[in-house]
Amino acid sequence: MAKKGREKNTANKAKHSKLIAQKKNRIKSKSEERKAKLKAIIELAKTRKANAS
């Protein structure tokens, strides 16, 4: 027998999914920024090492 009335927790599920997606995107962008900064530091160190030699 089908359930009558409004679907259970539809609004909360949608809101939760949206918030979790935001969190994942934020974490992903922070890790990408960190990788880019580290890459820049490594390149700078390589150039300084090449110039010093």
Q: What angle do CA 27, 35, 41 make, to 5 degrees?
A: 145
> Which one-letter amino acid corresponds to residue 36?
A
The pLDDT of residue 21: 97
Scanning the chain, the segments in alpha helix (DSSP H) are 10-52
| Confidence bin at 5 (pLDDT 50/70/90) | confident
pLDDT at 8 over 80: no
- The structure tokens listed for 21 are 């997606």
Which residue, among 21, 5, 2, has the nearest Cα to 13 in the 3D structure? 21
pLDDT at 1 over 90: no
Mean pLDDT, rounded, of the chain: 90
pLDDT at 40 over 90: yes
Position with higher pLDDT, 12 vs 34: 34
